[in-house]
Amino acid sequence: MKRIAFTLLALALIVLLLGKSASRLAESITLCSIGLALTLGEIVRAAISRRVSRGIGVVARTRAVRQLQSASCLKRRTGRRSQAFDGVTVVLSRTDARATAQYHSAPRFAPGHRALALLRRTVLHEVLLAHDAYANRRVIIKRTLPGAPVHDLRREAGMLFWLEWARMPVPAPQYIAYEECDGRGTLTMSYIDGQTIEELAGAGRLTVSTLVHLLAKTCMALDALHRAGYVHQDIKPANLILDRNGTLAVIDWGSARRHDLPYDPRTITCTPDFASPEQLRGMVLPGNDLYAVGKTLAALVPAPPPALARVIARATGPFAHRYATGAELAQALLAAAHNDA
């Protein structure tokens, strides 16, 4: 670009020296103008290029510092970014995994979140209701207690991320962020405004017919989850929340697993009262969730009507006689509701 400008300027000078008429003078002025414009454009382009380069350098340095700060907090970082949540649970493409790791590299439970109430505490976790000042909304923060293992919470974060990424028709909390720092895991997810069916049934605010229809819809959602290769493994009344729109959402995904991978039975967490005999032996099967649905009905409806009682008996009976799919159990529940009406 500079060479062209200087060439045009030189030609203008030559024409000016050799030309004797007004037309020659006009041509000279035109060539000079073009040359000056090109030179000015080159100067502006160079200035913009320097500013952009400096800006890119600042962004790159900022990202590097954040990654180093995040890495210094992590106690157990795997060599592959595709294992950010626990590789045995969620299989993501490299592009998705890099984007996910970049998204939650900075801590989220600090300046922007203010704890409002402690909702629940177990031997491993505490669950808090918090306010997100940046988004002006309530969120749920679940974090491990000091010294507790983080793999279950990491798996839950991965499952929530995958459910949204894969657009699974399973009502569940939305993943917001996950981090590990100082040996503790912290999962931030959306707040579901509602009550568990355990609370609703205990208060007498849930009829048997309504409960059966809600669980039938949940069985259809679980059927889609099973066909995608995953099992929730901890269906129970306390993990089913009915929101204000009448949708039954499934929470607490820390026990979820792929059903085509082998596991050590000692690493599988569950609630024994709602776990199938096969699950207690370490087997990950879609039928584990269906068995748990039957146990949930048995716990919430101590004296079920005849048709519903038969469905519960089959769902929780010997393995060979149980329902094969969530869709089959859903149909049986709807039929029972109709027959008992």
pLDDT in tens, 287-301: 999 999 999 999 999
Give the per-residue SS3 of the chain. Answer: CHHHHHHHHHHHHHHHHHCCCHHHHHHHHHHHHHHHHHHHHHHHHHHHHHHHHHHHHHHHHHHHHHHHHHHHHCCCCCCCHHHCCCCCCCCCCHHHHHHHHHHCCCCCCCCCEEEEEEEEECCCEEEEEEEECCCCEEEEEEEECCCCCCHHHHHHHHHHHHHHHCCCCCCCCCEEEEEEECCEEEEEEECCCEEEHHHHHHCCCCCHHHHHHHHHHHHHHHHHHHHCCEECCCCCHHHEEEECCCCEEECCCCCCEECCCCCCHHHCCCCHHHCCHHHHCCCCCHHHHHHHHHHHHHHHCCCCCHHHHHHHHHHCCCHHHCCCCHHHHHHHHHHHHHHHC
What pLDDT is attached to residue 84?
40
What pLDDT is attached to residue 23?
55
Domain topology for 82-190 = Phosphorylase Kinase; domain 1 (3.30.200)
What pLDDT is attached to residue 37?
66
Q: What angle do CA 190, 158, 71 make, to 5 degrees?
A: 100
What pLDDT is attached to residue 46?
62
Dihedral sign (CA 254, 222, 240, 173): positive
Give the Cα separation of 109 and 132 in Å (integer): 9
Per the CB < 8 A criterion, the answer to whether 160 and 127 are in contact is: no
Residues 6 or more apart from 340 whose CB is under 8 A from it? 208, 209, 305, 306, 307, 308
Residues of the chain with pLDDT under 70: 1-111, 262, 265-268
Tokens of 54: 């400096």
* CATH architecture for segment(s) 195-340: Orthogonal Bundle (1.10)
**Confidence (pTM):** 0.69
Q: How far, in whole angstroms, is CA 340 from its chain's centroid?
A: 40
What pLDDT is attached to residue 176?
93
Tokens of 43: 């100067």
pLDDT in tens, 54-67: 444 444 444 443 44
